Amino acid sequence: MIRRLYRLWPEPRLLARLWLLTAAQAVLQGLLLGLLVPVLDAFVRPEPDLAAAAPWLALGAAGAAAHAVLGIIATPVGFKAAGVLAAQLRRRLMRHVSTLPLGWFTAEHKARLARAVTADVGDTAQLAVTVAGPAITSTLLPATVVAVTFAVDWRMALLLCTIALAALWALRRAARIAEIAEIELERAAAGVAGRAIELGQAQPVLRAAGHAGGTPRMHAALADHRETYRDGMRRARRPFFVYTGVITGGFVAVLALAAELALSGRIGVAEAIALLVLAARFLEPLGNLIDLIGALRAMTNKIARVEELLAAPVLPAPAGPVRGIGEAGIEFSRVGFTYPGGGAPALSDVSLRFRPGTTTALVGPSGSGKTTVTRLIARFFDVDTGRVRVGGVDVRELDPAALLDEIAIVFQDVYLFDDTIENNLRLARQEATRGELEEAARAARLDEVIERLPAGWRTRVGEAGAQLSGGERQRVAIAWAVLKRARIVLVDEAGSALDPVNEAAVSQAIADLGDDPERTVVVIAHRPATLAAADHVVSLDGGRVVETGTPEELLRTGGAFARLNRRYERARRWRIAGT
Ligand SMILES: Nc1ncnc2c1ncn2[C@@H]1O[C@H](COP(=O)(O)OP(=O)(O)OP(=O)(O)O)[C@@H](O)[C@H]1O
**Residue-wise DSSP of 442-497:** HHTT-HHHHHHSTTGGG-B--GGGTTS-HHHHHHHHHHHHHHHT-SEEEEE-TT--
What phi and psi values does residue 251 have, to the nearest 5 degrees?
-65, -40
Is 348 close to ligand 1, i.e. is its CB under 6 Å away?
A: no
Give the domain-ending residue among 310, 339, 363: 310
- For the chain, the straight-line distance linking the first and the last C-alpha, in angstroms and rounded, comes to 67
319: in domain: no
pLDDT winner (highest mean) among 102-106, 195-199, 298-302, 458-462: 458-462
14 CA distance to ligand 1 middle (Å): 46
206: in domain: yes
235: in domain: yes
Q: How many whole angstroms from its chain centre is CA 192?
A: 19
More confident residue, 21 or 112: 21
Nearest Cα residue to atom 7 of ligand 1: 339
**Is the pLDDT at 306 greater than 70, yes or no?**
yes
Same domain, 179 and 34: yes
Same domain, 298 and 355: no
Average pLDDT over residues 112-117: 84
**Is the pLDDT at 63 greater than 80, yes or no?**
yes
**Is the pLDDT at 286 greater than 90, yes or no?**
no
What phi and psi values does residue 329 have, to the nearest 5 degrees?
-70, 150
Question: What is the ipTM for the molecules in this complex?
Answer: 0.98
More confident residue, 149 or 12: 149
Is 369 close to ligand 1, i.e. is its CB under 6 Å away?
A: yes
320: in domain: no
Give the domain-ending residue among 310, 339, 370: 310
414: in domain: yes
- pLDDT per residue over 132-143, tens digit each? 888 888 899 999
pLDDT value of position 212: 65
Whether 509 contacts 501, CB under 8 Å: no
Cα angle: 8, vertex 12, 17; to 5 degrees: 140
**Is the pLDDT at 435 greater than 70, yes or no?**
yes
Same domain, 285 and 346: no
The three-class DSSP label of residue 369 is: coil
142: in domain: yes
Same domain, 409 and 508: yes
Domain count, the chain: 2
Report the relative pairing of strands 385-390 and 393-394 from DSSP bridges.
antiparallel
pLDDT value of position 577: 53
Average pLDDT over residues 458-462: 88
pLDDT band at 42 (very low <50, low <70, confident <90, very high): confident
Please tell me the distance from the alpha carbon of residue 337 to that of residue 438, in angstroms, as a whole number: 41
In ligand 1, which atom is closest to the CA atom of 524? Answer: 22
- pLDDT per residue over 399-431, tens digit each? 888 898 899 988 777 888 889 999 999 988 888
CATH assignment at residue 414: 3.40.50.300
Please tell me the distance from the alpha carbon of residue 562 to that of residue 123, in angstroms, as a whole number: 58
Same domain, 304 and 336: no
Name the pTM for this structure. Answer: 0.68
Nearest Cα residue to atom 3 of ligand 1: 339
Q: Select from 100, 370, 526 the residue to mutate for testing ligand 1; criterion: most ligand atoms less than 8 Å from CB.
A: 370
Instruction: Find the range with the poorest average confidence among 52-56, 67-71, 200-204, 389-393.
Output: 200-204
- pLDDT per residue over 48-62, tens digit each? 788 888 998 999 999
CB atoms under 10 Å from CB of 251, counted, come to: 18
Is 367 close to ligand 1, i.e. is its CB under 6 Å away?
A: yes
pLDDT band at 440 (very low <50, low <70, confident <90, very high): very high
pLDDT value of position 495: 54
Same domain, 250 and 339: no
> Could you tell me what percent of the chain has a pLDDT over 70?
97
pLDDT value of position 213: 67
404 CA distance to ligand 1 middle (Å): 22
**Is the pLDDT at 95 greater than 70, yes or no?**
yes
pLDDT value of position 496: 55
315: in domain: no
Same domain, 158 and 200: yes
Same domain, 566 and 427: yes
The contacts found for 287-290 with CB under 8 angstroms, 24 or more apart, are: 287/244, 287/247, 288/134, 288/138, 289/135, 289/138, 289/139, 289/167, 289/171, 290/171, 290/174, 290/240, 290/243, 290/244
pLDDT value of position 487: 94
Give the domain-ending residue among 310, 338, 357: 310
346 CA distance to ligand 1 middle (Å): 7
**Is the pLDDT at 105 greater than 70, yes or no?**
yes
Same domain, 291 and 435: no
Give the 3-state secondary structure percentages of the chain, helix then strand then coil, rounded to 5.
65, 10, 25
CATH assignment at residue 282: 1.20.1560.10
Instruction: Find the range with the poorest average confidence among 62-66, 216-220, 279-283, 293-297.
Output: 293-297
**Is the pLDDT at 575 greater than 60, yes or no?**
no
**Is the pLDDT at 490 greater than 90, yes or no?**
yes
Task: Write out the residue range of the structural domain in which residue 276 sits.
Answer: 2-310
456: in domain: yes
Same domain, 341 and 258: no
| Bridge partners, 387 (sequence order) | 333
**Is the pLDDT at 89 greater than 80, yes or no?**
yes
Same domain, 334 and 304: no
CB atoms under 10 Å from CB of 186, counted, come to: 16
Q: How many whole angstroms from its chain centre is CA 438?
A: 38
pLDDT value of position 10: 72
Nearest Cα residue to atom 29 of ligand 1: 367
**Is the pLDDT at 576 greater than 70, yes or no?**
no
Same domain, 300 and 355: no
Please tell me the distance from the alpha carbon of residue 60 to that of residue 53, in angstroms, as a whole number: 10
Average pLDDT over residues 473-480: 90
Instruction: Find the range with the poorest average confidence among 284-293, 436-445, 565-574.
Output: 565-574
DSSP structure string for 97-137: HTTS-GGG--HHHHHHHHHIIIIIHHHHHHHHHHTHHHHHH
pLDDT band at 119 (very low <50, low <70, confident <90, very high): confident
Q: Which residue type does 187 have?
A: R
Average pLDDT over residues 529-552: 90
The three-class DSSP label of residue 10 is: coil
pLDDT value of position 573: 66
- pLDDT per residue over 239-248, tens digit each? 888 888 999 9
Nearest Cα residue to atom 18 of ligand 1: 369
Is 430 close to ligand 1, i.e. is its CB under 6 Å away?
A: no
pLDDT value of position 131: 83
Q: Is the dihedral of CA 548, 549, 555, 556 positive or negative?
A: negative
Which residues 6+ apart lie within 8 Å of 439 measured at CB?
482
What is the pLDDT of the chain when averaged over all its residues? 86
Instruction: Find the range with the poorest average confidence among 276-285, 319-328, 345-354, 381-390.
Output: 319-328
> Could you tell me what percent of the chain has a pLDDT over 90?
34
293 CA distance to ligand 1 middle (Å): 45
